[in-house]
Structure 1
Amino acid sequence: MNQINIEIAYALPDHYYLKSLQVAEGTMVQTAILQSGILQQFTDIDLRQNKIGIFSRPTKLTDLLKEGDRVEIYRPLLADPKEIRRKRAAEQAAQANKEKGVQK
């Protein structure tokens, strides 16, 4: 069976893990992750919870890998981006109203 070259990537706030490996052609994403040893190195990864992608495109654990694929394991968001934007807009509006009051 032919071998293909892939990478497994996992980013942390202060550094990232990137491992190149060869797997059999037709290998599923989950199998490659297990073969990489990353789950032993980073015990916070839970394949039932963490989202997975190939080059920033969401993928399933059962998808088959192709030559050159980079499997990315994403960490859960600590905060909802929409909520952060909403809060920032409210703070800016409050600041603008405060400045208007000072100019009177």
Structure 2
Amino acid sequence: MAASSLAVEVAFALPHKQRLVALSVPAGTTARQAVTLANLPELFPELPEETFSKAPLGIFGKALRHPDTQVLRTGDRVEVYRPLEIDPKAARLERAKRQASGQ
């Protein structure tokens, strides 16, 4: 691998399917560009492309405030976050109601 390229990974997961794509990208590649290079819409054809092009991103579990300008370093794992299906507060409230009613 040339000194001007970086080894990075892009990760995305659904409850039933996960993918980790290893890439060699040019130095200066941003997190958003790496997601595009990973070609996730081809790996997850059941999802609209916007799922990946507009999704929030993180690196090793830390959300990125500016994924379009965050330059990657060798070894970074870019994570593509899915939108929440239910608000966490609402989910906790529902669990508390079920526990209180004895279910």
Q: CA RMSD in A?
A: 1.8
Contact 1:52 1:61 (8 Å CA) reproduced = no
Distance 1:52 1:2 in 2: 24
Distance 2:96 2:39 in 1: 43
> How many Å apart are 1:80 and its aligned residue?
1.0
Superposed CA offset, 1:59-104 (max 9, x none): 12220000100011111111111111111112222339xxxxxxxx
Can you give the 5+ residue segments of structure 2 that lack an aligned partner in the other structure? none
Q: Which residue of 1 aligns with 2:37?
A: 35
Q: Which residue of 2 aligns with 1:47?
A: 53
Can you give the 5+ residue segments of structure 1 that lack an aligned partner in the other structure? 97-104
Residue pairs, 1:1-104, within 5 angstroms: 2-42=4-44, 43-44=47-48, 45-48=51-54, 50-59=55-64, 60-95=67-102
Q: Answer 1 or 2: which has greater helix percent.
A: 1
Residue type of the alignment partner of 2:59: I
Q: TM-score normalized by structure 2?
A: 0.80
Distance 1:73 1:53 in 2: 7
Distance 2:25 2:72 in 1: 9
Distance 1:46 1:7 in 2: 15
> How many Å apart are 1:34 and its aligned residue?
1.4
Report how many residues are paired: 95
Q: TM-score normalized by structure 1?
A: 0.80
Identity among equivalent pairs (%): 36
